[in-house]
Structure 1
């Protein structure tokens, strides 16, 4: 549909979702509503006799933990009012493309620089014969946090989202005792991989030589990492957000 020059511009969907090989815009579906309510917490609460209020053990090292979240989209297809068979083909095709897919990335044109990860929970389609339209309600069961598309330490200019962004170096030189300060502006702890590009560096008693990697956990905010030795280390990691 999008490649057909005879289709008026106003009839081309500008917003939509991409899940695997399914792109709602290319299939002619218009995204009308989206719902992404916050997920439920994985609560660990214990009541103790003769104590006012419970003990809440739901947090660990400053993080809260959540169950999967439900993300729901309403899509509309505008067909011919007398083309029932065509509408049934479209209904079958959206189910065929979405439901069998395993857990994969879900991209939403609304969520700039982020994507979700999950699987389809249900696809419900209503056929309005009077107006020749289909309304599809697609519900996804997704990982609770939105995941940034690119490496946190790669500043892709086109992806810079100024309301919530930080620029930081990807590669650092260790010369003797060196403290490297890394920032995590995500919504929970982020796993970062440090790869020694040349030389050798020591962190917390462990020496990493050229080509080797070590994993670090960065809490929200800033973290100081104390290195020694002589070498060059490069960091990579993916930020996750509660949006």
Structure 2
């Protein structure tokens, strides 16, 4: 029987014993943050949630129930020793870190264990429930523009170039297939001028991260002499 684990901070539940594994997964969806105003003495409701141009979302929950079989022996002391090892691993981060779930091989979460973990145990075995608090969106493991044949997703992937040589001026079209705007990491080897979305940006040689890509196709006009590349990951619900 194949068990599906998760990886967090470089470790997996199965690293703590041959019979320690994830029994159930519950990948929750984020809820929308709604800002609504009801007109007094009326059924009219105004929704101002997207006044900033983007629908905001609350954080999401990812829950695992882990079956734990005591690898140290048949006594309560050693069972608590194993429980402490697992808890120290899961609670060791004070910020959101990458959480990789075997059932979602193309994406990862940014997660932190903030809530109290629950362990129902006896001398030999136990059931540990952990609830991760996560950034609302799943993040692709691969950067956009990575069109390696063996790992390319032919169902949802978009083949596009993200590396360009600028010799005077050039119009670039980049497709952001995320459900939200993303801000790519832009690398240039010379100062360049970038115009997109009605805004003008001056970027120096090096790495910058200040120009957002809206969802869908983005027209980017670049002028100057040099090379430019864009790096970002798809973000989906």
Alignment TM-score, normalising by the size of structure 2: 0.83
Aligned residues: 228
Residues 57/159 of structure 1: CA separation in 2 closer, same or farther (3 Å cut): farther
Please say if residues 193 and 200 of structure 2, whose CA atoms lie closer than 8 Å, have aligned partners that are also in contact. Answer: no
Please say if residues 125 and 137 of structure 1, whose CA atoms lie closer than 8 Å, have aligned partners that are also in contact. Answer: yes
Whole-Å Cα distance in 1 between the matches of residues 31 and 54 of structure 2?
A: 14
1:94 offset after TM fit, Å?
1.4
Residue among 204, 207, 213 paired with 1:218: 213
Whole-Å Cα distance in 2 between the matches of residues 151 and 201 of structure 1?
A: 24
Residues 19/196 of structure 1: CA separation in 2 closer, same or farther (3 Å cut): same
Equivalent residue, structure 2, for 1:99: 91
Whole-Å Cα distance in 2 between the matches of residues 124 and 78 of structure 1?
A: 15
1:115 offset after TM fit, Å?
1.4
1:34 offset after TM fit, Å?
0.7
Residues 75/184 of structure 1: CA separation in 2 closer, same or farther (3 Å cut): same
Equivalent residue, structure 1, for 2:102: 109
Residues 105/179 of structure 1: CA separation in 2 closer, same or farther (3 Å cut): same
RMSD over aligned Cα atoms: 2.6
Whole-Å Cα distance in 1 between the matches of residues 201 and 31 of structure 2?
A: 39
1:158 offset after TM fit, Å?
5.4
Structure 1 residue 15 and structure 2 residue 7: aligned? no
Structure 1 residue 147 and structure 2 residue 139: aligned? yes
Equivalent residue, structure 1, for 2:118: 124
Whole-Å Cα distance in 1 between the matches of residues 74 and 120 of structure 2?
A: 15
Please say if residues 162 and 174 of structure 2, whose CA atoms lie closer than 8 Å, have aligned partners that are also in contact. Answer: no
Residue among 43, 46, 60 paired with 1:55: 46
Mark the runs of 5 or more structure 2 residues left unpaired by the alignment.
Answer: none
Mark the runs of 5 or more structure 1 residues left unpaired by the alignment.
Answer: 1-9
1:66 offset after TM fit, Å?
0.9
1:52 offset after TM fit, Å?
3.6
Q: Deviation per CA, 1:41-88: give whole Å up to 9, x if none.
A: 2111111235542111112565321111111001112348x7133333
1:122 offset after TM fit, Å?
2.4
Please say if residues 60 and 134 of structure 2, whose CA atoms lie closer than 8 Å, have aligned partners that are also in contact. Answer: yes
Alignment TM-score, normalising by the size of structure 1: 0.81
Please say if residues 191 and 238 of structure 1, whose CA atoms lie closer than 8 Å, have aligned partners that are also in contact. Answer: no
Whole-Å Cα distance in 1 between the matches of residues 194 and 218 of structure 2?
A: 17
Residues 53-62 or 232-241, more deviating: 53-62
1:211 offset after TM fit, Å?
3.2
